Each structure stands twice: as structure tokens, then as C-alpha cells.
Amino acid sequence: MSSPPSSDDNLPLRPIPGGYGLPFLGAIFDRYDYYYNQGRDKFFISRIRKFNSTVFRTNMPPGPFVAANPRVVAVLDALSFPVLFDVSKVEKRDVFTGTYMPSTTFTGGHRVCSYLDPSEPRHALLKSFFFHLLASKKDQAIPLLRSHLAEMFQKLDDQIHRKRKAYFNSISDNELFNYVFRLFCGKDPTQTKLGSWAPTYFELWVYPQVAPLGSIGLPWYFFPINVVEDFFLHTVPFPAFLLKWLHRKLYDAVYTSAVEELKEAERMGLSKEDACDNLLFVLGFNTYGGVKIVIPSMMKWVGLAGEGLHRELADEIRSVVKAESGVTLASLDKMPLMKSVVWEVLRIDPPVQFQYGKAKEDIVVRSHDAAFPIKKGEMVFGYQPLVTKDPKVFENAEEFVGHRFVGEGEKLLKYVYWSNGRETEGPTVANKQCAGKDLVVLMLRVTLVELFLRYDTFTVKLGKPLLGPTVTITSLTKATSY
């Protein structure tokens, strides 16, 4: 374990290096570097080297004409990044997707919770609604998830039996979507008008909202295909009115399913329409969007870690489940290695990679080496995959170390930022930390436990990452000792 650094108030004040280039052209050049010439990680790492600083100015995609102002101050180390959690210093209004905001046509004209700054009164009301919703589902969360995971593993077994391999993403996406819909709305999505196409409809609704951030990842020599892609994805905003029918379809499915939940929202002072659009967003964007990335990511990292770690996990999980007679919150808490592995997945591959916030006043941010003045109104931006692999905080930061957060290692949890806050802290109505933080960690823990109750070991093959890793399971060895 590295000794965690502390922020030094006496660091020299330095002007922020970097720049934005010529108006308009600078943003386009940076966008081409980011998507096609360099790629994401190289884009940031090359600039850290060039400026000899983890804090610098750059343009962030998409830029013109999707985003009016692409200029940001990037904060790319573990010390400067947390300024983005301090809502007294940065404004989180309309920055959930970055320097642009998708049309509110996607959400029935409502600005949903994720786009609200805590200073806006609706933020506390909506976040309280989610806290209440999650608290009311607390007893169902584990048993319902276990029954969906049982289905998932059965389908994986069947596919491996038939094809000698199983495409993990499609099977897990489907099962976990059904879980989340049932948990939040109290009904199986197949019992709604969405039928078995429910997850696909939700994906069709989410993707256009994040399209300006994506690319199929063709390098520069695929010219001019990448120019065409750049035009359609990053230059012109998606005409959201084309998907009004889809929003209506999803809205109706949630409205007719989450009847009790929406009544409760009304009792709390929200209109049913506002609550329904917010629930739709939390379900389809925050939760399903996140789970689609993070569960395959866990399968990837644990799969690649190999048989040694699998044996240790299986031993720990099986002995605790036996001693505690089941999978409960209390028994999960007694599995230090399993917990550490989940945190390590969230550290090495934070599922939401970008965070933004606009300086509310003139502020000073501190990196390991210097202090930097940021002016009121400037956009602060963090790319989390570099931040949570800060070598000045984490030893062998690029490596997946399953035991990293066991025992003394837990002290480093305050540098795990996946939820838009420290792992040692929790969401409140006054901050912007993920309202579902505990549920997400619980889902990962229960999935890992179910995996190693059923199997001794497994192997994976990775495909080309799209939104997250694409995982094919190439073998699953049934548990011999449970």
C-alpha cells in the first residue's frame, strides 16, 4: 500500500498550463485527437506529459455544434479531482452528460434529478423520493436479485452446453434489467406493453442521449468514414422529437406499473408526471446504463485474475454462507476479500468515466505538485479512469489487485470515487453522490457470491469494448465442494 498523500496548503500557485487553440478549430482538432488520432487515454496522458501537470486546459468533445462551450480545466489526479464533489465550489446544474445536455424531450419536458444542482429545491425532493423508494425495497433487494441471477446462470450454463461458450452481456443485461424493473416498479416488464423487448426499447432511448460522447472507435486511417461518424454523432444534435413515441411508450410502462411508488411520490409533494419521468430516467439511464457496464466489467477483471483468486473467493464465500446460513447483508459484510474485489473493480474501471462542475466562485485546486487558480464560471472536468489509477496513491495502480482493500488497505477507500463521491461517504440530498450507491455495491457483491457458490472457476474472452467490456465466457467449472 502506498502512503496516502495529503494536500499541502503551501504548494506554489501556478497558472494552469494548456489552452484551447483557435476558436472553433481548436475544439475540432482536440475532438479528432480524442476520438481518432490518439484515443481517450492517450489524449489525456500525452497532455499530462506535455504540460508536466495533471491539471491543464483543453477542449472536451463533443464541442461545436452540439455543445456551445467545450473549454474545460481538466483535473486528473486523486487530490485535485474531489473538487468536483464539493457543491459549495462547483455548480452541477445541467452538467450530468458534460458540456452539452440532451433535449428534455427525452424526459417529457422535465429536467431530471441528475441534471439538478443541490441548490435547486426540486433536487432534495426528488433525491428524497429515491431514498424512500430504495428503503422501501430493502427486504426484496437480495432475494429478488438471487432469483434473477439463478436464471442468468442457468442460461449461461445452457449456452455453454450448446455452443461451448456464452455471450455474457446479452444474458446478464436482460436478466438484470428485469430485476431492476421489478424492484423499482413492482412488476415484471414482460407484463407491460413493452413485452420482452423492454431492455431494447430502453437502450434505444438511452443511446441517442449519450451518442455525442461515443464513437465506434475507428482510427484516423479509416478516413473518411470517421468524418461521417463525427458529423452525425458529434456535430449535429440528435433530433429528439423523433423519439417522442418511444419516451411515451416507456413512460406508460412505468406509470402503469409503479402505481404505489408514484402515489408515494405524490404524498411527498411531487407531481406524478415529474416523479414518473424521474423514475424512468433512474431506471433506464442511471441504473440499467450503469449495470450494463459494471457487471461485465467485474466478470472481465475477476475472470482475468485466474484460478488462484477464484479459489480464495470460493473458500471465503462458501464458508461464510455456511456459517451464517445464507446470503444476507450481515453475511456479505463478513467477506473481506469479496468486498475488496468489488471495490477494486470499481477503482480500476469506474463505470462513469467523466465528471463535470462549473466553478461557482474563484477557487484554487491542488494537485500533488502545485495549486491552480480557477475563475468563476470555468468548467472543471475529471476523467476518472486516470484519477483512480493515480500512482501517487495506489501501488501498482494499473494492476487488478484483488486484495487491495483488505485490512489496512481499507484506508485507501477514500480514493475510490466511482459514485461521484468518496467510497467512505454516502449520498445525501445536499450532495451529488449517486443515490443508488449502496444498491450498486450490493448487486456486485451478491453477483460475485452467487458466482462462486455455483462455480469453482471460469475463463473469459474479451471482445471489442463498446459502452463497457464485451465478455464471452469460455468455461464454467461447477462447484466441487459446496
Does residue 290 belong to the site contacting ligand HEM (CB under 6 A)?
yes
* Cβ pair 262, 272 in contact under 8 A: yes
Beta bridge partners of 42: none
Rule CB under 6 A: choose which of 130, 153, 343, 381 binds ligand HEM: 130
The C-alpha cell of 31 is what?
475532438
Within residues 157-216, the interface with ligand HEM by CB under 6 A covers none
* Cβ pair 166, 472 in contact under 8 A: yes
Does residue 379 belong to the site contacting ligand HEM (CB under 6 A)?
no
Residue 113 is assigned to a ligand binding site: no
Within residues 349-378, the interface with ligand HEM by CB under 6 A covers 351-352, 355
d(C-alpha 263, C-alpha 186), whole Å: 13
Output the smallest distance, CB 369 to ligand HEM, in A.
26
Rule CB under 6 A: choose which of 294, 365, 387, 448 binds ligand HEM: 294
Kindly give, in sequence order, each residue whose CB lies less than 8 Å from that of residue 164, ignoring residues fewer than 6 positions away: 474
# residues near ligand HEM by CB under 6 A: 26
* Cβ pair 440, 419 in contact under 8 A: yes
Q: Which is nearer to ligand HEM, 141 or 243 (CB)?
A: 141
Please choose, out of 48-56, 167-175, 287-295, 297-305, the segment that lies near ligand HEM by the rule CB under 6 A: 287-295
d(C-alpha 370, C-alpha 383), whole Å: 19
Beta bridge partners of 175: none
Residues 402-431, one symbol each (x = binds ligand HEM by CB under 6 A, - = not), give -----------------xx-----------
Please choose, out of 35-43, 127-135, 221-229, 235-243, the segment that lies near ligand HEM by the rule CB under 6 A: 127-135
Does residue 432 belong to the site contacting ligand HEM (CB under 6 A)?
yes
Does residue 145 belong to the site contacting ligand HEM (CB under 6 A)?
no
Residue 102 is given by DSSP the state: -
d(C-alpha 419, C-alpha 373), whole Å: 26
* CB count in 10 Å sphere of residue 229: 19
Rule CB under 6 A: choose which of 286, 367, 447, 472 binds ligand HEM: 286
d(C-alpha 327, C-alpha 447), whole Å: 11
Q: Which residues of 333-350 are buried (b: 16+ CB within 10 A; e: fewer)?
A: eebbbbbbbbbbbbbbbb
Please choose, out of 215-223, 285-293, 296-304, 463-471, the segment that lies near ligand HEM by the rule CB under 6 A: 285-293
Does residue 92 belong to the site contacting ligand HEM (CB under 6 A)?
yes
3-class secondary structure, 395: coil
Binding residues for heme, by number, are: 434
Residue ranges that bind ligand HEM, judged by CB under 6 A: 92, 96, 113-114, 116, 123, 127, 130, 134, 282, 286-287, 290-291, 294, 351-352, 355, 419-420, 432, 434-436, 439-440
